[in-house]
């Protein structure tokens, strides 16, 4: 069976939109109606007129789409496609943390569960985190969760002091500073670009730091021909497609595994995508009481993102 063709057929028959994150395998990216970073995907989910959203990404992203479309069916090819960063922030412990820091505005990175969103005041993504933090009056104290690396980076960028939750992403923490240094010596013309979920030691070596979409745009904008890419390797597919004459070198992890592939993202396959569109399962279901609270900070983020700086 030609899965690509069958998915295209099903999309039309059932009025389905396929939204895919840049970290998905290339065959999934090729069948998507929209490929984006977390912010772009949330914005697309907010405005879609499709009856069903097939979300090729991880669970918290599909949950975000569902929060914005409570009356639509949202399916995820593999319900086990989780996120180490979201897992690093369990709701009970976070509720306690919030109580220990009263009178703080809670800003949560979108990479968290709906329960954490329900405990937050505003959501942000790596694309808009600076803008969201700067929207909070300077006399207000801030809790930033769950990514300590993004939080520390935003603190540096904005000069705001924030209380950070100690969470991290297993993919972005694995890059080896020493191996990147060796790569830089081997490719002296190359620019090193990094996602702000990386550790500070890696970010300090970067020529450009940005969200997945910002990194992609930068590689097209820059006159440089070689890039060392310190983020999940799935993004390289679009970088190479947009810039066939440029060379993209994935930054190496600190061991010998393919750890710069997100194992959660990679649980989705084209076959699972086909099956979930065909059967309408597995479906994302969020308890009403959590959904009602979680959508408020999410919509706040989308409103703030739409406003000019
Ligand atoms: P962005 O899509 O916001 O760049 O985040 C990267 C990521 O880790 C998604 O899981
Ligand atoms: Fe989560 Fe990291 Fe995978 Fe993104 S790359 S989904 S933050 S584990």
Q: 224 is written with which tokens?
A: 């440089």
- The answer to whether residues 101 and 58 belong to one domain is no
Contact status, residue 149 vs residue 200, Cβ threshold 8 Å? yes
In a domain, residue 257? The reply is: no
Taking the centre of ligand 1 as the mean of its atom positions, its distance from the CA of residue 35, in whole angstroms, is 12
In a domain, residue 127? The reply is: yes
Average pLDDT over residues 19-47: 96
Q: How many helices (H) and strands (E) does the chain have?
A: 15, 12
- The answer to whether residues 90 and 164 belong to one domain is yes
Contact status, residue 243 vs residue 219, Cβ threshold 8 Å? yes
Q: Is the CB of 83 under 6 A from ligand 2?
A: yes
What local confidence, expressed as pLDDT, does residue 61 receive? 97
Placement of tokens 């030609």 in the chain: 2
Pick from 20-29, 38-47, 218-227, 234-243: least confident? 38-47
What local confidence, expressed as pLDDT, does residue 308 receive? 63
Q: Whose CA is nearest to atom 7 of ligand 2?
A: 169
pLDDT, tens digit, 9 for 90 and up, residues 120-142: 999 999 999 999 999 999 999 99
pTM for this entry: 0.96
What local confidence, expressed as pLDDT, does residue 82 receive? 98
pLDDT, tens digit, 9 for 90 and up, residues 82-122: 999 999 999 999 999 999 999 999 999 999 999 999 999 99
In a domain, residue 259? The reply is: no
In a domain, residue 73? The reply is: yes
What local confidence, expressed as pLDDT, does residue 309 receive? 53
The atom of ligand 1 lying closest to the CA of 111 is 10
Question: Is residue 4 scored above 60 in pLDDT?
Answer: yes
Q: For residues 1 and 271, which has the higher predicted lDDT (pLDDT)?
A: 271
DSSP state letters, 54-117 = EEES-HHHHHHHHHH-TTSEEE-S-TT---HHHHTS-HHHHHHHHHHSTTEEEEEESSS-HHHH
In a domain, residue 196? The reply is: yes
Average pLDDT over residues 278-307: 96
Q: Which domain holds residue 234?
A: 175-250
In a domain, residue 302? The reply is: yes
What local confidence, expressed as pLDDT, does residue 306 receive? 85
- The answer to whether residues 226 and 280 belong to one domain is no
In a domain, residue 255? The reply is: no
The atom of ligand 2 lying closest to the CA of 263 is 3
Give the residue, out of 22, 37, 149, with the most ligand 1 atoms within 8 A of its beta carbon, to mutate for a pocket test. Answer: 37
Provide the number of structural domains found in the chain: 3
Contact status, residue 56 vs residue 75, Cβ threshold 8 Å? no
Strand order in the sheet with 226-230: 208-209, 191-194, 226-230, 247-250
- The answer to whether residues 90 and 116 belong to one domain is yes
- The answer to whether residues 245 and 272 belong to one domain is no
pLDDT band (50, 70, 90) for residue 257 = confident
Give the residue, out of 43, 82, 211, with the most ligand 1 atoms within 8 A of its beta carbon, to mutate for a pocket test. Answer: 211
Burial of 137 (0-12, 13-18, 19+ CB in 10 A): exposed
In a domain, residue 256? The reply is: no
Taking the centre of ligand 2 as the mean of its atom positions, its distance from the CA of residue 262, in whole angstroms, is 6
Q: Which residues lie across from 162 on neighbouring strands?
A: 142
Kindly report the CATH number assigned to the domain that includes residue 235: 3.40.50.10800
Taking the centre of ligand 1 as the mean of its atom positions, its distance from the CA of residue 34, in whole angstroms, is 15
pLDDT, tens digit, 9 for 90 and up, residues 175-219: 999 999 999 999 999 999 999 999 999 999 999 999 999 999 999
Average pLDDT over residues 47-61: 97
For 250, the enclosing helix (H) or strand (E) is strand 247-250
CA–CA separation, 261 vs 253, rounded Å? 10
For ligand 1, which residues put their CB under 6 angstroms from it? 37-38, 111, 125-127, 169, 197, 211-212
Direct distance between the N- and C-terminal alpha carbons of the chain, in angstroms, rounded to an integer: 49
């Amino acid at each position: 069976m030609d899965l690509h063709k069958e998915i295209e057929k099903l999309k039309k028959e059932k009025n389905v939109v396929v939204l895919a994150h840049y970290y998905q395998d290339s065959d999934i990216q090729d069948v998507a109606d929209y490929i984006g970073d977390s912010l772009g995907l949330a914005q697309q989910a907010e405005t879609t007129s499709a009856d069903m959203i097939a979300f090729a990404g991880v669970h918290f992203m599909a949950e975000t789409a569902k929060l914005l479309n409570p009356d639509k069916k949202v399916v995820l090819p593999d319900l086990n496609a989780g996120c180490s960063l979201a897992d690093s922030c369990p709701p009970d412990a976070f509720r306690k943390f919030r109580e220990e820091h009263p009178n703080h505005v809670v800003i949560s990175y979108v990479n968290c569960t709906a329960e954490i969103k329900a405990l937050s005041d505003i959501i942000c993504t790596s694309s808009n985190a600076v803008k969201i933090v700067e929207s909070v009056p300077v006399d207000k104290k801030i809790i930033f969760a769950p990514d300590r690396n993004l939080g520390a980076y935003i603190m540096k960028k904005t000069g705001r002091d924030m209380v950070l939750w100690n969470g991290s992403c297993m993919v972005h923490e694995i890059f080896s500073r020493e191996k990147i240094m060796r790569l830089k010596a081997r490719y002296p013309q190359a620019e090193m670009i990094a996602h702000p979920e990386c550790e500070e030691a890696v970010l300090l070596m970067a020529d450009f730091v940005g969200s997945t979409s910002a990194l992609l745009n930068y590689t097209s904008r820059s006159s440089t021909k070689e890039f060392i890419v310190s983020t999940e390797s799935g993004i390289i597919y679009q970088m190479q497609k947009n810039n066939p004459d440029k060379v993209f070198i994935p930054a190496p992890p600190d061991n010998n595994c393919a750890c710069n592939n997100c194992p959660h993202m990679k649980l989705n396959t084209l076959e699972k995508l086909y099956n979930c569109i065909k059967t309408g399962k597995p479906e994302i279901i969020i308890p009403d009481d959590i959904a009602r609270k979680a959508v408020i900070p999410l919509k706040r983020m989308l409103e703030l993102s739409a406003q000019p700086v």
